[in-house]
């Protein structure tokens, strides 16, 4: 009796079964050496790696989704042996006191107890306990009900993270594909960067979508797959009627499948 055929693989080694993509787990590289430093995050990165030589105990990182805040928080956790504070722990942490560095992620979105946050900020300022907060929105837009909390958060040294140029967007694609152990032609990345919405969150969405499309097809990531990934994102932004045909001229006309 013949042995069963092994499942097909795509060129980067991922297993596929016809048109069904297997959702293979991947672990993002979150070490200090993996952080992509550019003009839009250089000051924030310098602040984190300057620990423990902070002149003030509170630091606030601001930036959109996928901009690198959590990566910097992980670097800080490793450098400072810091603890991540859970949503319901703030009051207890303030009461317990001490100087163990703390991280409060997504401080503007996760519904932290405002009284607990107030007491923890006070304890940090009083005892010079290092504390790193991350948020997407500027402090003025947080859903805070008391000026006391607002005034204390504003005492934090704040840094905004943003992607500033094509090079950083390209580097982010390279890192995200590298996390998945996928090699992608630099021309495909250039094709994406020239046509996509310019944000870190969009890079992450496109990288994930292309990985899934390639898995479903059992192929490498090609220009055709990149175009297929861009189209629904373009439609979602409401610019279905906008298409710069001239941009297509920067790519070879032969099929890349």
Which residues, 6 or more positions from 107, have their beta carbon under 8 angstroms from its beta carbon? Answer: 60, 117, 133, 134, 135, 142, 153
H helix count then E strand count, the chain: 9, 7
Tell me the pTM.
Answer: 0.65
Q: What is the pLDDT of residue 23?
A: 44
Q: What is the pLDDT of residue 29?
A: 62
Q: Which residues of the chain have pLDDT under 50?
A: 1-24, 240-257
For the chain, list the domains and their CATH numbers.
32-160 (3.40.50.300), 164-238 (1.10.8.60)
Q: What is the pLDDT of residue 172?
A: 85
Report whether 138 contacts 110 (CB < 8 A).
Answer: no
Report whether 44 contacts 84 (CB < 8 A).
Answer: no
Q: What is the pLDDT of residue 34?
A: 76
DSSP 120-176: HHHHHHHHT--EEEEESS-GGGS----HHHHHHHTTSEEEE----SHHHHHHHHHHH
Q: What is the pLDDT of residue 77?
A: 97
- Give the CB-side neighbour count of residue 210, counting CA atoms within 13 A: 27
Distance CA 187, CA 223 (A): 8
In the numeric block, which tokens belong to residue 105?
A: 């992620």
């Amino acid at each position: 009796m013949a042995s069963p055929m092994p499942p097909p693989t795509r060129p980067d080694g991922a297993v596929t079964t016809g048109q069904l993509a297997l959702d293979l787990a991947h672990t993002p590289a979150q070490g200090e050496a993996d952080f992509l430093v550019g003009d839009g995050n250089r000051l924030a990165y310098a602040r984190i790696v300057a620990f423990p030589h902070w002149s003030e105990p509170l630091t606030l990182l601001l930036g959109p989704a996928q901009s690198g805040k959590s990566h910097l928080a992980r670097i800080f956790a490793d450098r400072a042996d810091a603890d991540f504070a859970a949503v319901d722990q703030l009051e207890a942490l303030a009461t317990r006191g001490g100087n163990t560095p703390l991280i409060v992620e997504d401080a503007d979105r996760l519904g932290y107890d405002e009284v607990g946050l107030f007491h923890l900020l006070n304890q940090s300022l009083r005892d010079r306990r290092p504390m790193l907060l991350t948020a997407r929105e500027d402090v003025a837009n947080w859903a805070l009900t008391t000026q006391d909390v607002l005034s204390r958060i504003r005492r934090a040294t704040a840094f905004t993270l943003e992607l500033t140029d094509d090079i950083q967007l390209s580097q982010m694609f390279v890192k995200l594909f590298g996390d998945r152990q996928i090699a992608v032609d630099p021309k495909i990345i250039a094709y994406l960067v020239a046509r996509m919405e310019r944000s870190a969150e969009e890079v992450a969405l496109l990288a994930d979508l292309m990985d899934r499309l390639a898995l479903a097809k059992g192929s490498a990531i090609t220009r055709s797959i990149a175009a297929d990934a861009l189209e629904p994102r373009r439609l979602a932004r409401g610019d279905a009627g906008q298409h710069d045909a001239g941009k297509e001229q920067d790519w070879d006309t032969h099929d890349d499948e």
